[in-house]
A and B are shown apart, each in its own frame.
Chain A
Amino acid sequence: MAAQRFRVLPGFGLTMGFTLFYLSAIVIIPIAALFLKSFQLSWADFWRVVTTDRAMAAYKLTFGASLIAALINAIFGTILAWVLVRYTFPGKKFIDALVDFPFALPTAVAGLTLSNLFAGNGWLGQFLVPLGIKGAFTPLGVIIALTFVGMPFAVRTLQPVLENLDRGVEEVAATLGAGRLRTFVKIIAPTLLPTIITGFALSFARAVGEYGSIVFISGNKPFQTEIAPYLIVFRLEEYDYLGATAIAAVLLVISFVILAVINYLESWAGRYQR
């Protein structure tokens, strides 16, 4: 018979019970309710509602733009985190504080600011629009807004891991003859990859759920710049509750699948770690 492991702190039962209760109350019950509600539709109706051309365009924009934004954040967030951890320069504290800005800013404010900035007569738009770069009321605008709101997730996830990175490892590599590029590609990047993927996932999840800033910058033109969450709101405003929940259920399933894939990637990238 396996001996029960000794635990320093009692209360596994209690904490586990609380965890399950908490998860049910906050996550499982609402999701179940959502599915039950959408099951009031017949399968054929459900399929018709969730596969309209308009809905398909909205999914594509939401998930496509979110993936692109998360990718941008994974790359540039990594560079930003690297600079903030590895170098000292004047104004570093200020820039570090600025990273949290998208966390704190109400998303509607962010959307308004960005759309003003990139509109044809805005600060940046007046230079960019003549070059053919339209940052407002286009899918590009959606990507810009989603990048903005997701950025802190990528940076803040990576920062502590970077801080704990053992400099000795880089120095050993140097004594063995490795240049900076090789050290980065062969040792640092693989070590950071799981965390970068986590930052990517968080940034992605945040982007899929984003609504407030997008409604301002995208213009919400059906088939072009309409995101799926906006379509849900639109259906609700038509009092089409079942249509709204059906689309919501689809969003949920796709998000879940993507997050599961990311999770798998993460554990694959971290396969040699504990």
Chain B
Amino acid sequence: MSIELKSVSKQFGEVAAVNNVTFSVNEGELLALLGPSGGGKTTVLRMIAGLEVPTEGDIYIRGQRVNDIKVQKRNIGFVFQNYALFQNMNVFKNIAFGLKIKKWKSADIKARVRELLELLGLEGLDKRYPHQLSGGQRQRVAIARALAPKPSVLLLDEPFGAVDAKIRQELREWLVRLHHDLNVTTLFVTHDQEEAMEVSNRIVIFSRGNLEQIGTPRDVYEQPANEFVARFIGVMNVLELEVFKNVGRAGELQFPAPGYADGERIRIGFRPFSVQISSDLNQFPYQAVVRQTYFLGVMLRLELELESGLLLRSRMSKEEYANLALYDGKKVSLQIRNYRILSREHEPLGPELTAPEKSSLFVGEGI
């Protein structure tokens, strides 16, 4: 176990920035701390580094309790959101800073810096000052500086926050490769769920100081622990239904809702993948019109308008889209394969349910 947090809380005056958080990070893992801004991600990172003292709880690094160990002694590589490079030192001196403190021999320092310059694609920039570098180069210098003393853990706060979309994509792939090459335990903070899903082995999801879920990208997508996670990870269609005679309705859509009283309002959620579309208007029970098509690389997202005016989001591959001969304005029929009944925000979700054929619903309604 590389890092362990046990019932860690952090209070800033009245603000509970982190609330009784427990999780552990495996040696060599690439872990994302994901959550909306203000969720306490940075505070968790800072507590691990020793830049912030937990109000309660214990932190362990490689089995050793570090609560009382100073920042300087924790052997951690920290990359700040704004990189925080030493403006008065050139790239070489920035990277060598930690090594000088550890009293490495000058020849060893040179070799190590050269190795890192090469690893991070910074060859030939060693004499430059930070203001003479591009944003991406600055970030890589910051990472090289953090990695130089061979830290036991690398902590990155919003590493992709300050760069534009295209470079972001490259950086993600680059971070995965770097992690693969070095195999150093890495925690990075992000508020972008797509980024977390794509890059990490596991994701820790935070909201308002609480740990909502920890799991692989697939776990949190397919088995969200609660509605917050379900809505934060990926896209989700959410509908409010009114129950009458064990059937919940929103517009023309109907879902079985056994056990709920008449007049009760419940909410359900389903992923865009669950919305099945056919160009045969009679194949599926509901009629809709394609309103908008968004092209997201190999996948497409469709916005569909039902006859009642309800809007649903669906997702499919380009091939499927071509096979169905879809276009904006085309009429289609659709059904919703499975859905979950959502409860209050932070309570566990109901199980995934399969929507029955429309005809069977009518039986229930007809009584």
Contact = CB atoms under 8 A, between A and B. Distances in A.
Interface of A: 166, 168-169, 171-179, 182, 186-187, 190-191, 272-274
Given A173-B97, A175-B76, A191-B88, 8 more contacts: A166-B84, A172-B145, A175-B72, A175-B77, A176-B101, A177-B73, A272-B90, A273-B87
Given A272-B129, A274-B131, A175 B86 contact: no
User: Which 6 pairs, one residue from A and one from B, show the smallest C-beta to C-beta distance?
Assistant: A168-B84, A176-B98, A190-B88, A177-B101, A175-B78, A174-B71
B102 interface: yes
Contact of B84 (A169, A272, A273, A274): A169
30 contacts: A166-B82, A168-B80, A168-B82, A171-B80, A172-B80, A172-B84, A173-B97, A174-B51, A174-B72, A175-B50, A175-B51, A175-B72, A175-B74, A175-B78, A176-B98, A176-B101, A176-B146, A177-B73, A177-B98, A177-B101, A178-B97, A178-B101, A182-B101, A186-B86, A187-B88, A191-B87, A272-B88, A273-B87, A273-B88, A274-B131
A179 B100 CA distance: 13
B5 interface: no
Interface in B115-152: 129, 131, 142, 145-146, 149
Best-buried of B71, B82, B88 by chain A (most CB within 10 Å): B88
A176 B97 contact: yes
Nearest to A174: B71
A273 B129 CA distance: 8
Contacts of A179: 72
B61 to A, nearest CB: 13
B49 interface: yes
Contacts of A176: 97-98, 101, 145-146, 149
Contacts of A166: 82, 84
A191 B89 CA distance: 10
A169 B89 CA distance: 12
Contacts of B84: 166, 168-169, 171-172
A133 B149 CA distance: 53
Contacts of B87: 169, 191, 272-273
A182 B72 CA distance: 12
Contacts of A182: 101
B68 to A, nearest CB: 16
Contacts of B146: 175-176
Contacts of B85: 169
A176 B82 CA distance: 17
A187 B86 contact: yes
B186 to A, nearest CB: 15
B80 A177 contact: no
Nearest to A179: B72
Interface in B263-301: none
Interface in B28-54: 49-51
A171 B45 CA distance: 13
A175 B145 CA distance: 11
B102 A177 contact: yes
A233 B72 CA distance: 61
Nearest to B75: A177
A186 B88 CA distance: 9
A3 B221 CA distance: 54
Nearest to B98: A176
